[in-house]
Structure 1
Amino acid sequence: MSLRSARHLTSVYLVRDEQVLLLYRRGSRAIADSWVGIGGHLEPAELTDPTAAALRELHEEIGVTADQLTDLALRYVAVRDTGAEVRTTYYFTTTLLPTASRPTECAEGDLHWFSLTEDPDLDMPPTARIAFRHWLRIGRHDQQLRFITVDADGNETGPC
């Protein structure tokens, strides 16, 4: 097995009024155009603090700050082997306070609020699809941390 590079990312599912905000990300260097939570790469100083990275990305991408949120929680840790690199993504959920403005714009792509009662068939990266669909059906009703793995052949396990 050859040595591979590593990539560390965050993704946040922002909830308000029984809806979740997703981003149709365009022109990413890591993934094809697709639906994702709000997030991005961890900076070197954030490798031991993915929560700080998630908060930074929320602020940079949609202007939301920590004081506008409640119940920020790490819900899924996903590891995906792409064959060329190992990607670790930290999936968070949080609630936007009623006093905060709803984000409507993002320079990274198009924002859309989806109802928590629907399970939309969206074009998503592999671990994002697994985490999001599981969270909609099961994970949002508890506070467990779950783990997902996807190997280079696309075989998945989890959430466990």
Structure 2
Amino acid sequence: MEIRQMATAFLINDDKVLMMKKARSKLFDFEFWGGIGGHLEYDELNFPMKASYREIEEETGIKKSDIINFKLKYILIENSSGEIRQQYVYFGETKRMNFISSDEGELYWIHKNELMNLHTSKIIKFTIEHYLENPNLEDILVGTITANHDLTPLLQWVTTKETVNF
């Protein structure tokens, strides 16, 4: 089994979040939405924030100096397509609204009220929903997809203080 490490960022400008719409990926053969990010390079394996800043600049043209309050908020772990995926999810703020075109997908500023209507992966949908309900939470949460007795997907969050089912 392979391990894939990724970094994803959600940049916020007032009530809008910069999101990327992709036509398809290795996992999905349909249009879906996500944050800005990608796989960690070999020299970034111990430095996911470095990877996140690199991905932001490559995919948007927004530089590290344009971003404030950039913090690791979530570490997501899932077994997907025969690999363990570990994703570091950052949230930060920027006043810069303009961005460059990306070969990775189309970029859009989406109002926070519309985020839950976008077609995202389940783990990202749960993460965005949790963040919107807890934007000032200081703990880093570790989450993984589980299912209840009816096989309904849910995300189990773990902090240093408690375990929370969402």
TM-score by length of 2: 0.82
Q: Secondary structure at the match of 1:141?
A: coil
Say which of 103, 110, 116 aligns to 2:106.
110
Residues 83, 109 of structure 1: CA spacing in aligned structure 2 closer, same or farther, 3 A cutoff?
closer
**Counterparts of 1:55-134 in structure 2 under 5 Å?**
55-82=53-80, 84-96=82-94, 98=95, 100-103=96-99, 105-134=101-130
Q: State the Cα distance separating 1:129 from its structure 2 match.
A: 1.3
Q: Which amino acid aligns with 1:87?
A: R
Q: Once the two structures are superposed, what CA deviation does each residue of 1:33-82 show, in whole Å capped at 9, x if it has no partner?
A: 41100000000111100000000000110111111110110000000012
Q: CA deviation at 1:154?
A: 8.2
Q: Distance in 1 between matches of 2:152 and 2:89?
A: 19
Shifted more, 106-115 versus 72-81: the winner is 106-115
Task: Return the alpha-carbon distance in structure 2 between the equivalents of residues 86 and 53 of structure 1.
Answer: 19
How far apart are the structure 2 equivalents of 1:151 and 1:80? 9
Identical counterparts, % of pairs:
25
CA contact (8 A) 2:24 2:32 kept: no
Deviation of the 1:28 alpha carbon: 2.7
Instruction: Determine the structure 2 residue equivalent to 1:143.
Output: 138
Once residues 93 and 31 of structure 1 are traced to their aligned partners in structure 2, the CA distance between those partners, rounded to angstroms, is: 24
Query: What is the alpha-carbon distance in structure 2 between the residues aligned to residue 87 and residue 131 of structure 1?
Result: 15
Aligned-residue RMSD, C-alpha:
2.2
The CA deviation at 1:110 is 1.5
Aligned to 1:10: 7
Q: Distance in 2 between matches of 1:130 and 1:46?
A: 26
TM-score when normalising by structure 1: 0.85
Higher RCO by CA contacts (8 Å cutoff, separation 6 or greater): 1
Q: SS at the partner of 1:143?
A: coil
Structure 1 gaps, min length 5: none
- Asked whether the 8 Å contact 1:23–1:38 carries over to 2, the reply is yes
| CA distance 1:31–1:64, change in 2 (3 Å) | farther
Post-superposition shift, 1:114? 1.7
Residue 20 of structure 1 pairs with residue 17 of structure 2: yes
- Aligned letter for 2:121? P
Aligned residues: 154
**Contact in 2 for aligned 1:81/1:151 (Cα 8 Å):** no
Q: Secondary structure, in 3 states, of the residue corresponding to 2:110?
A: strand
CA contact (8 A) 1:79 1:87 kept: yes
Q: Tell me the secondary structure at the aligned position of residue 52 of structure 2.
A: helix
Match of 2:161 in 1: none
